Amino acid sequence: MNLIDRFSLEDKVVVITGASSGLGLGFARALATAGATLVLAARREEKLEALAAELRQQGTPVLIRRTDVSVQEQCEELAAAAADEFGRINVLVNNAGVGPAGSALREDPAVFRSTIDTNLNGVYWMARACAPHMPEGSSIVNVASVLGWVASRFPQAGYCASKAGVLGLTRDLAQQWSRRRGIRVNSLCPGYFDSEITNSEGAEALRTMVTDNSVLGRFGEQAELDAALLFLASPASSYMTGGSLVIDGGLSAIV
């Protein structure tokens, strides 16, 4: 296999959670370009329908499934549907996530719990559900965050705790499954990229913070993260497991 072919996802079935918008939508388009067959999951089914129509028009086989990853049973139903439709799952991209911010002393405890349920527990439920359908040589990519490594300059305890948890979970599942099942498990740790979350309330202050406190001094672009995802999802990263790939424009380098 030559170098370029190692990045190909031809004949690979890829499940992506949180695929209806933001980074997940961009990931779906990038994975389709690499030749993947896609299983798209999110809570907003109408947005999944629109993305699926776009990708099918380009020749990509697509299955969609409305899924709330915080509900274990829905994760199991998603994995079963993917396996029934395509016979296997080769790649899981655990991308679904929420990013509320707020002071720890003022935050509604229910918001903290729901953040952990989606960002951390959802990663676990999806990995558990998909692993039995994944043949040797498969890959799980858990989308964590640079804020799993360094402190946020804005108060968001639930988000930071959940993403740090994803890093620990990634290492443990890699230890459990890489030799025994042939499933590599790695995490992708983005910094700040243009998305629904980073363009919501408080976006101006966030952009100023990134400008002032990162080496490159700007938000990332989707294509700059897509390339890293393709590396982790494909055979190009066949000697990497239990690791984390930080794509943050140098934010963590100068903290």
Q: Quick one: pLDDT at residue 36? A: 98
> For residue 209, is it within any domain?
no
Q: Quick one: pLDDT at residue 200? A: 64
> For residue 38, is it within any domain?
yes
**CATH number of 94's domain:** 3.40.50.720
Domain count, the chain: 1
Could you list the residue range(s) of the whole structural domain that residue 226 is in?
Answer: 4-194+222-239
Q: Quick one: pLDDT at residue 199? A: 66
Q: Quick one: pLDDT at residue 156? A: 85
- pLDDT tens for 46-84 read 999 999 999 999 999 999 999 999 999 999 999 999 999
Q: Quick one: pLDDT at residue 204? A: 82
Between 233 and 253, name the one with better pLDDT: 233
> Is 124 a residue of the active site?
no
* Region for 235 from its dihedrals, namely left if φ exceeds 0, alpha if ψ lies in -120 to 50, beta otherwise: alpha
Average pLDDT, the chain: 93
- pLDDT tens for 161-171 read 999 999 999 99
> For residue 253, is it within any domain?
no
> For residue 246, is it within any domain?
no
Cα–Cα distance list, 141 to 14, 105, 151, 226, 230 (Å):
11, 33, 23, 12, 10
> For residue 23, is it within any domain?
yes
Mean pLDDT on 190-195: 88
pTM exceeds 0.75? yes
- Grade residue 255 by pLDDT with cuts at 50, 70 and 90: low
- Which position among 124, 159, 192, 239 bears the catalytic label? 159
- pLDDT tens for 219-233 read 999 999 999 999 999
- pLDDT tens for 3-16 read 889 999 999 999 99
List the alpha helices (DSSP H) in the chain. Answer: 22-33, 45-57, 72-86, 109-116, 122-130, 157-177, 203-213, 222-233
pLDDT surpassing 70 at residue 136 = yes
> For residue 211, is it within any domain?
no
Q: What are phi and psi of 82, to 5 degrees?
A: -65, -45
Between 204 and 47, name the one with better pLDDT: 47
High-pLDDT (> 70) share of the chain, %: 97
